[in-house]
Each structure stands twice: as structure tokens, then as C-alpha cells.
Amino acid sequence: MIVIEKYNDSLHNPYWKFQLGPESYEIKDTPHRVETIKQALSNEADFQFFKARKFPERYIAKIHPYHDYIRNTALEMKEDEEFYPDLFPGEGAHLPKRVDSPLWGGIWCTDAVTPIKKKTYDVARASAESALTGAEMLHKGDADLVYALCRPSGHHAGPRVFGGYCYFNNAATAAEYLLPHGTVAIVDTDYHHGNGTQEFFQEVKSVFTSSIHCDPSNEYPYFWGYSEETGKGQGVGSNHNEPLPKGTGLPEYLEAVRRITTHIKEFNPSWLILSAGFDTHVDDPIGGFNLQTEDFFTIGKEFGALNLPILICQEGGYNLEVLGACVKNFLSGLKEAR
């Protein structure tokens, strides 16, 4: 299996977030996540590493209206500075047509857990380019199973705002690259709902989006991810959510996976993109499901059995003791089922 790795991951390493009191200030999304995964996969002959290639800026900028804001704000930062939006305008706010100052960040960001540093733009762009490299390989027929080791994650970044540790939506960027050539199905398996991905495509009938996640009535992102969200306009019926209760284990999780794979078979896409999060593990510090390390092999087999060209984009997963093994098991399951 091909693994696409970035060229500058360690340059983005924010320390603080503002959420839920002092004990949760430290951000869990660190470069150590990537190193843990690479170490687990490097020991296996089945995984062949390639560096992500650079793509023109327009591939990312055309679908992210805040692209220039992130780039320009990062340029203004000093080496050790972290910028956090501190005011989020509600309905009725006067929004200027042009926003250049970092101080207007609340227009583009949903929260105070997604800071911008000097190298944030470069690293977020490289993360999207990892997904684009994988999508290009699928489109050209150079591979039919590609894992993009994306960081930062992307699934909370949408067509209006970014947030939730996410700056650019890697899966959506890859899907936009592939769409002129066929249809795309996207499945998000992160513990948290992929609200940004859903919003990107909720009115697009040529993309089937789905997400298996913890019930948002008591888990982030709270305002998206309910079962009644099935798409809008021409896209009605092209979105499917599987909100599950905290404590969900493998049997219930597999039932949700099989409901989604049934929909995918009916949709019959040209390509499948998996936004793969591993914060569903029982010991993840910001999760709440009861999946075990070995369960990810079984879950991977379910998606591999669809026998589609697949791009996997890395999303969450924050327990460094098990993350590498979870990713390896998932990818091995995908590969074995094909």
C-alpha cells in the first residue's frame, strides 16, 4: 500500500487551546502523532512511502474562502506567537467586504482551539497536498489504495469556516480534484462528526457523504451530525449520518458501517474517500467509544470489501501508545479484503 507523507509536519505545533478549563488546555494534535504512525508502518514491508508533491495554490484556495486569511495571518506571526480568534460575530453583525487583519478571525473560525502560527499555513497546505497526491494517483491508475498521512486533520473545516484543529478540508480537496472525472463517496469514521465535509457536499448529488460518530447531542461538534440531516436541494438523500451513543463497541459500530456500505453500493461511486479517525479507541483521551486496537482490522475489512479505489485521509486519534497499531490494523484490513 502507498503511504503519502508530508514534508514539513513538525513546523506546526501549537501548545494551548481555550476549552473546558485549565486541565484541557494542552492541544492533543502534535507532530508526535505522525511519527508514531510512520514508525508503525515503516516496520511493515506492505507499506511504501512517497513524499507529497506540491500543487498550485488554486486547488485549495478555490474551495476555502478563508485560504488567504490563514496564509496572510501566518505571515504576520512572529516565530513563537499563536493567534486565537476572540470574538465570533452572530447574526446581524456588520461584516466588512474585505478582511485582512488577524483580529477579524472570528469571521472565518468557529472556535478558540485552532490557533494560527508562523508555519500553520505551510503545514496545512502540505496536508491538503498529501490528499491531492493520493487523489492524483487514484485518478491516473497508479494505485487503487492510498493512505494520506494528513496532519492537521481536515473534516471540521467547511466552505464557510475552519475550526476543530482543522484548517483546510483534506478529503473535500481530494474529492473536488476527482469530481470532474467521476462520482465520489466519503465516509468519516472519526469519533467526532465531519461537519465541514458534510457542508461542502450537502447540495451535491454526485458526492455521497456519510459519518459514523458519537451522538452530537452530547459531543463536539454539537450542532451537526444528526440522523435527519440527509442533504439539501439537489443533494437530498446524498448524506447519511450514524450518530452512536458513548460506550459503543464493535458489534454496534459494525452495524452502522454495514448500513453505510449498503448505501455506497447503491450509489456506486467511482472512488471512495475514507476520513479515518482513531479517537474511537477505548483509551483515546478525547474519545468515548469502546473500540479495541484489534477491532480496526475488522472495520477496515468491511470497507475493503467494497472493492473500490480508496483514498484514506488521516483524521483524529490522540493516544500515542495505540495510534500506530490502530492505523496499521485498519490499513491491513482494507488491503486483505481486496
Residues 240-290: pLDDT tens digits? Answer: 999 999 999 999 999 999 999 999 999 999 999 999 999 999 999 999 999
Reported confidence tier of residue 323, pLDDT bands at 50, 70, 90: very high
Query: CA 12 to CA 24: how far, in whole Å?
Result: 19
Give me 265's grid cell.
453500493
In sequence order, the 6+-apart residues with CB closer than 8 A to the CB of 163 are 109, 110, 111, 113, 114, 156, 157
**Residue among 335, 337, 325, 5 at smallest CA distance from 143:** 335
Q: Judge whether 44 lies within some domain.
A: yes
208-249 pLDDT, tens digit per residue, is 999 999 999 999 999 999 999 999 999 999 999 999 999 999
Reported confidence tier of residue 22, pLDDT bands at 50, 70, 90: very low
68-87 pLDDT, tens digit per residue, is 999 999 999 998 888 888 88
Query: CA 103 to CA 85: how far, in whole Å?
Result: 7
213 catalytic, yes or no? no
Q: Which CATH number characterizes residue 185's domain?
A: 3.40.800.20
84-114 pLDDT, tens digit per residue, is 888 888 878 888 766 668 888 899 999 888 9
pLDDT, residue 169, reads 98
124-164 pLDDT, tens digit per residue, is 999 999 999 999 999 999 999 999 999 999 999 999 999 99
Name the 3-class secondary structure at 39.
Answer: helix
Q: Judge whether 84 lies within some domain.
A: no
From the candidates 156, 192, 193, 213, which is the catalytic residue? 156
Q: Judge whether 93 lies within some domain.
A: no
Q: Judge whether 88 lies within some domain.
A: no
**What is the b/e burial string over 287-303, where b = at least 16 CB atoms within 10 angstroms of the residue's CB?**
bbbbbebebbbbbbbbb
Q: Judge whether 102 lies within some domain.
A: no
Which residue range is the domain that position 150 belongs to?
2-12+26-53+124-336
Q: Judge whether 187 lies within some domain.
A: yes
Query: CA 204 to CA 63: how far, in whole Å?
Result: 14
Q: How many domains does the chain have?
A: 1
**Residue among 167, 174, 57, 186 at smallest CA distance from 121:** 167
pLDDT, residue 20, reads 52
Q: Judge whether 109 lies within some domain.
A: no
Q: Judge whether 281 lies within some domain.
A: yes
Measured from the Cβ of residue 234, the count of other Cβ atoms closer than 10 Å reads: 11
Mean pLDDT of the chain: 92
pTM of the model: 0.95
Alpha helices (runs of H) in 49-119, residue ranges in sequence order: 58-61, 67-76
pLDDT, residue 105, reads 86
